Amino acid sequence: MLQCFYPDHYVDSTYEIDFEALYRKGYRGVVFDIDNTLVPHGAPADEHSTALMDRLRSLGYRVMMISNNKEPRVKSFCDAVGTEYIYKANKPFVKNYRRAMERLQTNQNNTLFVGDQLFTDVWGAKKAGMTTYLVKPIHPKEEIQIVVKRFFERIVLYFYLRDRHGKSVAGQSAVGREDK
């Protein structure tokens, strides 16, 4: 029942994903969420996010941001890192995930999605058929509606980790573990 929310991969940070190895496996597009995936919520682009986008482009990836946020926030970040974007994406609805792949000229078999939320980012990308990476949020300060979702995410992550690792994770924080 909860498996529809399970990410394909769960890692500590966007910045530890081995994009070189994934490129060798045939992936050609990466779609990112922005807030708490690449930078803290509401923060401007920084040297890490800019360097990552430069690295991905140098490898041959096509990159796009997809965000539920409003255009001023998304545009300022994407202008700084040099990527295209879709704002007010209404994640987890599939339409704009598919639109992102069309604009990147990729498909569900060669496009990755990286985000920090199960019920919007990962669920929508999974419904669109993309390979998903759930990353731990960069910063704990979040808007109240996200805080509420995080409570339910911890429940799903508990079962995800239990199912993925085939053992009890009782007494361990689901958010504090990773899947590599």
Residue 33, helix vs strand vs coil: coil
**Host H or E run for residue 4:** none
Question: Considering the domain boundaries, does residue 63 fall inside one?
Answer: yes
> pTM of the predicted model, to two decimals?
0.84
Pairwise CA distance, residues 94 & 71, whole Å: 19
The string over 86-114, giving b where at least 16 C-beta atoms fall within 10 Å of a residue's C-beta and e elsewhere, is bbebebbebebbbebbebbebeeebbbbb
Query: Which neighbouring-strand residues pair with 118?
Result: none
Task: Give average pLDDT by consecutive 10-residue segment, the chain, 180 residues.
Answer: 88 97 98 96 96 98 97 98 97 97 98 94 96 90 64 79 66 42
DSSP state of 111: E
Question: Considering the domain boundaries, does residue 178 fall inside one?
Answer: no
Question: Considering the domain boundaries, does residue 165 fall inside one?
Answer: no
DSSP state of 180: -
Query: Which neighbouring-strand residues pair with 65?
Result: 32, 85
CA-based nearest residue to 99, from 69, 76, 107: 107
CA-based nearest residue to 171, from 152, 158, 156: 158
Identify the pLDDT of residue 144.
Answer: 57
Per-residue tokens: 80: 């700084």
Identify the pLDDT of residue 148.
Answer: 63
Identify the pLDDT of residue 158.
Answer: 83
Is-contact 118 160, C-beta < 8 A?
Answer: no
Task: Provide the Cα torsion 138, 134, 125, 53; round to 10°.
Answer: 60
For 137-161, how does the pLDDT look when each residue is reduced to its tens digit (9 = 90+)? 987 665 656 666 767 788 778 888 8
Question: Considering the domain boundaries, does residue 175 fall inside one?
Answer: no
Q: How many domains does the chain have?
A: 1
**Domain span holding position 126:** 2-141
Identify the pLDDT of residue 26.
Answer: 98
**CATH number of 26's domain:** 3.40.50.1000
